[in-house]
Structure 1
Amino acid sequence: MPPRVSRRARTDLRFTGRIAGVGTSRGPRFVVGMWETSPLGRFVDVMVEDGAGHRILLAPSPDVADFVSATYTFDEVRFLPVSWRKVDGGLRVVAGGPTEPVLDLRLGIGGISGLGMLLRAVPSAFATAPGWLRLIDPIARVLVPGSATAGTAGGDRREYYGVTLARRIVSLEGTWEGADLGVLARLDPPVTFGFGSAPASPSLVDVTTTIR
């Protein structure tokens, strides 16, 4: 079941952390949420869309699985351990058991992107405010095709993405369901879990997501 929160807390649920969005040369595309603070506590979840358009959620707990699957659209939900850690030059995401994980993803993280430079010019109080994000949404959709900063989520919810920093993802290696993922590719076509996708250029973004 979703977390029990007060009537006021139900109005604005804020998730603060990072999102990594990548494509692969073998077809699967991944959006990884690494949430430091949220109404569900600290957690990691992974959204996967394969080359045929099959959408899978990897969630570490029933609460996360219930809440995320009620907000986004999936064809399949899997409940299993999901974690991330820093490694030399980037980060590693593992879902499943330590010996035979369903997903083992290693991402090389580069410098701040051109988009990230623009975002740094916006004070964080504005960059994460739903009113500002609703205002700039048409501009964001033009500047970063496939992405959006405001839209309708599942369960009669509105959702706002406030990105404050963007870094380039420069390399990828790993496996998905035992198969090699190949090399890094654009997140193209866009993923279809919600009203918007992550940027087509592989990116790691600092973000505050507000669900209203």
Structure 2
Amino acid sequence: METLRGSITSVGFASGHRFVIGDWPHSPIGPFADVMWARPDGKRVLLGEASATACIVSVYPFDEVLHQVVTAECDGRNYAVLSDGLELDMKIRLARLSLPPRPR
């Protein structure tokens, strides 16, 4: 079993575009970042630097894989994701979440 340590962040827009960013400082292939871009037409595109990236994140089916460098930087509140043709700048706000008690 291979282990990834890092974070997953997602964002969606009214236009129908959705992005899931994986930022993995520790992985079997070394540090990397990837983006799953779900287009409004339902197609899923993986943006990642190497074919090994696609193998590691192949938990999800992709219609297309674009091999390109993806960088993800987070300073705790601001998150920037860059690749060829994609630039996401996000501000992270933590909201209080009240969950119902767990059933016994």
Question: What TM-score range do you get, normalising by the shorter chain?
Answer: 0.7 to 0.9
Deviation at residue 63 of structure 1 after TM alignment: 1.4
Q: 4+ residue runs of structure 1 moved beyond 4 angstroms?
A: none
Question: Which aligned pairs between 1:32-71 and structure 2 lie closer than 5 A?
Answer: 32-69=21-58, 71=59
Answer 1 or 2: which has greater helix percent. Answer: 1
Q: Percent identity over the alignment? A: 35
Q: Which has the larger radius of gyration?
A: 1
Q: Verify: 1:109 aligned to 2:97, yes or no.
A: no
Structure 1's unaligned 5+ residue stretches are 1-11, 97-101, 119-138, 140-212
Larger RCO (alpha carbons 8 Å, 6+ apart):
1
Map of 2:61 onto structure 1: 73
Structure 2's unaligned 5+ residue stretches are none
Deviation at residue 72 of structure 1 after TM alignment: 2.0
1-structure distance, mates of 2:2, 2:60: 15
TM (norm. structure 1) is 0.43
Q: Verify: 1:83 aligned to 2:71, yes or no.
A: yes
Q: 1:40 to 1:89 in 2, by over 3 A?
A: same
- Give the stretch that moved more between structures: 81-90 or 12-21: 81-90
TM (norm. structure 2) is 0.83
Deviation at residue 27 of structure 1 after TM alignment: 1.4
- Residues matched between the structures, number: 100
Map of 1:25 onto structure 2: 14
